Structure 1
Amino acid sequence: LSAGFESPSAFRAAFAKLMGRAPGEFAENALLRASWIDTPIGAMVTICDATQVHLLEFPERKGLAREVQQLFQYSKGQLGFGRFALTDRVQAQLTEFFEGRRPKFDLPLALHGTDFSKTVWRALQDIPAGQTRSYAQLAQSIARPTAMRAVARANGANQIAIVLPCHRVIGADGTLTGYAGGLWRKQKLIELERAYAAASSSLNARLASS
């Protein structure tokens, strides 16, 4: 509600204000379509085409306007409002995640970034739910142990939140570091995923004793 997404028309108005364009200026039946998804930790903006997810962000993200503008240019203005079947699939998997039934997402993603950034984002997907990594550990996992700052920048540039779990990267001393959706959301996500870690440990214990 605070983001102005209490209805489809309110979302259109809020999104258009973010983009600096009137709602009527967005393409009808567009290649890329923006919608919102409600989650237990707040509404999220998603932009999909018929086959891939291009963006999934919390509206508070400071870089959201820039990311949306880049997608507007990428699609040559073919950005509008609405949902594809893929949008519903994103929503369903997020629901399963928050209900403790999906530790890993299975969604086709359009990754807009450098080859290095894409390598970092794929490495994020290899961090199991319920576990965390430091920037140094993430850099080591991609065989770039001295590239911690570049890894941190790539982590911060991720525009598909939760699905690409940048929230699982923390400081070397165990403290929470910056998160575009807010540190309170990062804490909530880490707490939620502890249940996945506990379930995995229980399963491994049962397998070891069988």
Structure 2
Amino acid sequence: MARYIGPKSKIARRFGAPIFGPDRVLSKKNYPPGQHGNNRRRKTSEYGLQLREKQKAKYTYGVLERQFRNLFFKAQRSKGVTGEVLLQLLEQRLDNVVYRLGIAPTRAAARQLVTHKHIVLDGRVMNVPSYQVKPGQIVGVRERSKNMEVVLDSLAGVNHSKYPWLEWDENSKSGKFLHIPERQDIPEDIREQLIVELYSK
């Protein structure tokens, strides 16, 4: 299954944001990687800014190019503002919902929990990270996986009321996907309009 497995701190430094989670390297070296990372003065072109924003979104949500492009065209065919719909589709991915619920500390860890069959959707095991969760569906931890150290550590001290489109049930270790999130509720610092402009060329 295709996924990005390269150096993460290097990517985070390129964008100047902890897109893979807290990063000690980024806090020490808050400038782009490479020999001239601290001394770059060249102005980025319009195309460069658009490409950078697309790459930032791809790395943030752990999606490769073909999947991302397919999601964009799906968003384009849907009603509503294309950029916002694209982010909503990314937020609906099962691995992202597992991450937002606090079951896993990062999206990469959430993806692994899903592929290793530790996650259930409406009571049935689901091992497809890209599955689009629909409003009303319940995402939870498989019964035999509820005492896993990684799950317990991740859930400890999590603020489950942080995202208004999700509802957490502590007893069953599961969360309900209430509705598709509004753009203002999605905390990711992504300028989706630049992505739309890039694909519209």
TM-score when normalising by structure 2: 0.30
TM-score when normalising by structure 1: 0.29
